[in-house]
């Protein structure tokens, strides 16, 4: 069945780059997403990548997709304390009809 | 454009009661999906509605139900509440024309069952 895995915690220093990793199992995945959740809030869409792409860059965010290994990563350049949050990767495919499969979330802690 | 709104933001109920949560999608979006978020199980898909019809359903008991109105607003209902139903309930809206349309989330309703 479908499964998405993430490491649970990541701690970095302010100004460093953060890399959050995700693996998925569904080979029919069409879109892969990164969402950010701050305490007490809903999910904020950060970026997404279509499965026929290898990389997508959006300001400080870079998404890399390795389809062969079913591995997705999110790199945040120049990480700030305001980036501290939980980051979720999620997958969807046309045959799942509006259903996102989420990873467990990675808690990013940014130390000044 | 206004984002996805959910009401109420917080609810406290007791076991055995029922509850109704509401979600208003982004203007022009016709699909609404519901998710349950708990510390133990993470984010799990409940169901998706498109044009007033349930199009997809997750693995939740029949106590969890939903509906969608002609203006695309959606409600979900949980009957005979159990302690384990305490969670953050999130709804998301999308255009709905494809299963992979980007979903935008509301702030959630925090349900506490005592």
The answer, yes or no, to whether residue B99 has pLDDT greater than 90, is no
Rounded mean pLDDT of A66-79? 94
Helix (H) or strand (E) holding A6: strand A4-6
- Using an 8 Å Cβ cutoff, are B55 and B68 in contact? no
Q: Does A8 lie at the interface with B, CB-CB under 8 angstroms?
A: no
| Average pLDDT taken over every residue of chain A | 92
Chain B residues with CB under 8 Å of A96 CB are 56, 99
The first and second tokens of residue A43, run together, are 């999910």
For A24, other C-beta atoms within 10 Å of its C-beta total: 21
The answer, yes or no, to whether residue A1 has pLDDT greater than 80, is no
SS3 B23: strand
Q: What is the pLDDT of residue B15?
A: 98
> Cα–chain-centroid distance for residue B78?
10
Cross-strand pairs, A25 = none
Q: Which of residues 60-89 of A touch B (CB under 8 A)?
A: 88
For B73, other C-beta atoms within 10 Å of its C-beta total: 16
Rounded mean pLDDT of B52-74? 96
Chain B residues with CB under 8 Å of A92 CB are 99-100
Q: What is the pLDDT of residue A106?
A: 97
* Rounded distance between C-alpha atoms, residue A47 and residue A75, angstroms: 11
Q: Does A34 lie at the interface with B, CB-CB under 8 angstroms?
A: no
User: pLDDT digits over B2-43, tens only?
Assistant: 899 999 999 999 999 999 999 999 999 999 999 999 998 999
Q: Whose CA is closest to A73, among A61, A81, A85?
A: A61
Chain B residues with CB under 8 Å of A100 CB are 33, 35, 43, 45, 92, 103
- Using an 8 Å Cβ cutoff, are B27 and B2 in contact? yes
Task: Work out the minimum CA distance from B60 to partner chain A, whole angstroms.
Answer: 14
Q: Does A41 lie at the interface with B, CB-CB under 8 angstroms?
A: yes
The four Cα atoms A56, A57, A62, A66 give a dihedral, to 10 degrees, of: 20
Q: Residues of chain B whose C-beta is under 8 A from some C-beta in A?
A: 4, 6, 31, 33, 35, 42-43, 45, 48, 50, 55-56, 58, 90, 92, 94, 96, 98-108
SS3 A25: coil
Q: Which residue of B has its CA nearest to A92?
A: B100
User: pLDDT digits over A6-54, tens only?
Assistant: 999 999 999 999 999 999 987 776 789 999 999 989 999 999 998 888 9
Q: What is the pLDDT of residue A93?
A: 80
* Rounded distance between C-alpha atoms, residue A32 and residue A22, angstroms: 10
């Amino acid at each position: 069945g479908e499964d998405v895995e993430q490491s649970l915690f990541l701690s970095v220093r302010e100004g460093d780059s953060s890399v959050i990793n995700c693996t998925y199992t569904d080979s029919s995945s069409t879109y892969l997403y990164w969402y950010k959740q701050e305490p007490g809030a809903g999910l904020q869409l950060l970026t997404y990548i279509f499965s026929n792409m290898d990389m997508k860059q959006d300001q400080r965010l870079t998404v890399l997709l390795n389809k062969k290994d079913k591995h997705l990563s999110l790199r945040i350049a120049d990480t700030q304390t305001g980036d501290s949050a939980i980051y979720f990767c999620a997958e969807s495919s046309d045959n799942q009809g509006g259903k996102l499969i989420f990873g467990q979330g990675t808690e990013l802690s940014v130390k000044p | 454009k206004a984002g996805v709104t959910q009401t109420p933001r917080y609810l406290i109920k007791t076991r055995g009661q029922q509850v109704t949560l509401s979600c208003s999608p982004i203007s022009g979006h016709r699909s609404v999906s519901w998710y349950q978020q708990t510390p133990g199980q993470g984010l799990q898909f409940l169901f998706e509605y498109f044009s007033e019809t349930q199009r997809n359903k997750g693995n939740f008991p029949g106590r969890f139900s939903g509906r969608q109105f002609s203006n695309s607003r959606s409600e979900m209902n949980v009957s005979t509440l159990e302690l384990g139903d305490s969670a953050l309930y999130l709804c998301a809206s999308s255009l709905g024309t494809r299963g992979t349309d980007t979903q935008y989330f509301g702030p959630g309703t925090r349900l506490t069952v005592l």
